[in-house]
Homo-oligomer: A and B are copies of this chain.
Amino acid sequence: MNVESIRYASRFDGITGSAIREIFKMIAQPGMISFAGGNPSPSALPDAEAARIAGQVLREDGKRILQYGATEGYPPFVESVKAYAERAIGCALPGVLPVTGSTQAMDLLCKALIDPGDVILVEDPSFLGNLQCMRLYQAKLVPVESDDGGLKLDALEQAMAEHHPKMLYVIPNFQNPTGRTLAADRREPIAKLAAKYGVVVAEDDPYRDLRYCGETAPTIKSFDKEGWVVFLGSFSKIISPGMRVGYMSGDARILRKCTMGKQSSDLHTANLTQAIVDRFLRENLLPDHIARISASYRAQMEAMVRELDSFPSGTRYIRPEGGLFVWVELPEGLDALALLPRCVERRVAYVPGTHFYAYGGHPNTLRLNFSNSTLEQIGEGMNILRGVLEEALA
């Protein structure tokens, strides 16, 4: 029998994964200015410190680092990340589970909670990687309306009452892809709604430390009295995405199910990468590092936004207070997906906004990343993009 006849699991029905994949294939060309992706700047990746620390931790604790570890995490890191997370989240935490990037946190939460057909409430648009994860668990995605302050509370309560969701997925700060920040005064109400309706909130906050202006709002988790909020943290944007180290924090019983799920996902996160992040935290290298990269990212964001001001009339964008992305709405009638090949031909790339919507549509939107381009590349790339739009409108 030929292997073509194989029956794959039904969770893959309708999953292609090809749109984004095609974009990343297209842009893997020399000389490309990429506003796609969400990569940190190469200058933000602390390779010299990592080299020093990697050698050091392996010399000091190599036998433990190279041996099997606990699913619950490398003990020194469990300690340091708990202290770090409690400061970041602003409350005492019953437990913290290190994960292989916060991508895995979403996978484990779905594994713990989602049966086929279960409803997950999502912002619309939202981070497409996690939408894909939810689809592979055969969740039913229900978008909740947002405005400039993020999720609208009345729409959220109505969706909870109507759809009996298992989970709400929200990126409260400098949301991916819109760059929007959830209004401070909506955070406690969301924690209360979660407890009222019995909905787990996945509060995904990878960009939290990359704030360029304004005040940091308290986390939703900090208002969580009943344990419904699970906070997903990441070191990908502030130390290194290639290390694959994140954490999830919340109710001990929920974390216990996630830990059991993780046992058969990858047994444990690599001890070495946990140990390296542990030293970054213990040596207190993060505050200066974050200050340095934030200053640089702020300048890159400002440069991109300045360029957008001279884009064709009818172009709108959201000026973010932090994070990595600027969200753009082109004049009605323009199609960001259709224009992408023309841009790529001229060596500029972005991600069409339609991919971030649970049910597509919104052809005139696109997401621009500024962290992975120099000021010069931003100037040049935005010029090219402006030119393509002007041609399309002519």
A138 CB → nearest B CB, Å: 10
Contacting B at CB under 8 A, from A44-78, are 45-48, 50-52, 54-55, 58-59, 62-69
Do A257 and B226 touch (CB < 8 A)?
no
A112 CB → nearest B CB, Å: 6
Do A42 and B63 touch (CB < 8 A)?
yes
A173 within 8 A of B: no
Taken together as a complex, chains A and B put the C-alpha atoms of A244 and B197 apart, in Å, by 39
Contacting B at CB under 8 A, from A108-161, are 111-115, 118, 129-130, 132-133, 136
Do B112 and A242 touch (CB < 8 A)?
no
Chain A, residues 7-43, CB within 8 Å of chain B (1/0): the string is 1111110010100000000000000000001011010
Residues of B within 8 A of A114 (CB): 9
A104 within 8 A of B: yes
Do B59 and A51 touch (CB < 8 A)?
yes
Contacting B at CB under 8 A, from A93-113, are 100-101, 103-104, 106-107, 111-113
Taken together as a complex, chains A and B put the C-alpha atoms of A55 and B57 apart, in Å, by 11
A355 within 8 A of B: no
Pick the interface stretch among A259-267, A294-302, A329-337.
Answer: A259-267
Taken together as a complex, chains A and B put the C-alpha atoms of A260 and B8 apart, in Å, by 12
A195 within 8 A of B: yes
Residues of B within 8 A of A241 (CB): 66-68
Pick the interface stretch among A174-182, A269-277, A310-318, A340-348.
Answer: A269-277
Taken together as a complex, chains A and B put the C-alpha atoms of A118 and B242 apart, in Å, by 35
Nearest B-chain residue to A11, judged by Cβ: B111
Do B1 and A226 touch (CB < 8 A)?
yes
Do A47 and B69 touch (CB < 8 A)?
no
Taken together as a complex, chains A and B put the C-alpha atoms of A251 and B66 apart, in Å, by 31
Nearest B-chain residue to A239, judged by Cβ: B66
Of B47, B51, B69, B265, which one neighbours A265 at CB under 8 angstroms?
Answer: B265
Residues of B within 8 A of A103 (CB): 264-267
A198 within 8 A of B: yes
Of B3, B10, B228, which one neighbours A115 at CB under 8 angstroms?
Answer: B10
Nearest B-chain residue to A132, judged by Cβ: B264
Residues of B within 8 A of A195 (CB): 1
Do B264 and A197 touch (CB < 8 A)?
no
Residues of B within 8 A of A100 (CB): 100, 244, 266, 270
Residues of B within 8 A of A46 (CB): 66
Do B9 and A272 touch (CB < 8 A)?
no
A-B contact pairs, 14 of them (CB 8 A): A3-B254, A6-B113, A9-B112, A9-B114, A11-B111, A12-B112, A42-B67, A51-B54, A51-B58, A100-B270, A103-B264, A106-B264, A107-B265, A270-B270
* Residues in chain A within 8 A of chain B (CB atoms): 1-12, 15, 17, 37, 39-40, 42, 45-48, 50-52, 54-55, 58-59, 62-69, 100-101, 103-104, 106-107, 111-115, 118, 129-130, 132-133, 136, 166, 195-198, 200, 226-228, 236, 239-244, 251, 253-254, 257, 260-261, 263-273, 276
